Amino acid sequence: MKSVEFTAMKDGTREDYLFLKPLEDEHVKGTAERVLRELRLQEDETLPGYKISRLTHGLQAASRALHEGADTDWVVGALLHDIGDGLAPQNHDRFAAEILRPFMREEVVWTIEHHASFQMYYYAHHYGWNQHEREKYRDSAYYQSCVDFCERWDQSSFDPAYPTETLDFFEPMVREVFSRKAHDAAVQQKGVVKGLPPLMAAAE
């Protein structure tokens, strides 16, 4: 059997779907590789008007997280937080969050999902927009984590002189995250707030 017989899913048989299941399982195993491929596509994409590429911004945010002693979820979250910029520029934060949600701590996913609103604190007033958009999330347990993420790792990561690790360096961490069991409660840790590592842990 090289392909299913049906042309509409409702017409599929048990045999068809048993044939598809291992193929889909194999496809899922390739998630990390597809994520890394998308990041590599950003290598030659500059952020218009900025000093660095889209990829370098993510690498630099991840490097800052790493240098401050952050755990794997925070480092990979920082690396991938803007992965949706190319395909979903109007909701890139939610795009990235949905990629990460099955494989990562809820606190980090929530931060990635909302970081665009929190980033407005740094620039929105220059356009006459609401600089304090983040305040509508004040009651979230993850509010301060997102404030800290943006202040320490996102808004500061546009510096071509910062010592930034390569994508090859982060590749094992990306593969580790996407090899986790999807939607595992022990991985997602809903309601757990760990926060960013203390600033005193930052490398001198």
pLDDT tens-place values along the chain, 204 residues long: 899 999 999 999 999 999 999 999 999 999 999 999 999 988 887 778 899 999 999 999 999 999 999 999 999 999 999 999 888 989 999 999 999 999 999 999 999 999 999 999 999 999 999 999 999 999 999 999 999 999 999 999 999 999 999 999 999 999 999 999 999 999 999 999 999 999 864 443
Give the whole-angstrom CA distance, residue 26 versus residue 63.
Answer: 31
pLDDT value for 203: 43
Buried b (16+ CB within 10 A) or exposed e, 67-79: bbebbbbbbbbbb
pLDDT value for 89: 87
Specify the pTM.
0.92
SS (H, E, C) 85-148: CCCCCCCHHHHHHHHHHHHCCHHHHHHHHHHHHHHHHHCHHHHCCCCCHHHHHCCCCCHHHHHH
pLDDT value for 200: 63
Give the whole-angstrom CA distance, residue 110 versus residue 175.
Answer: 21
What is the CATH code of the structural domain delimited by 14-197? 1.10.3210.10
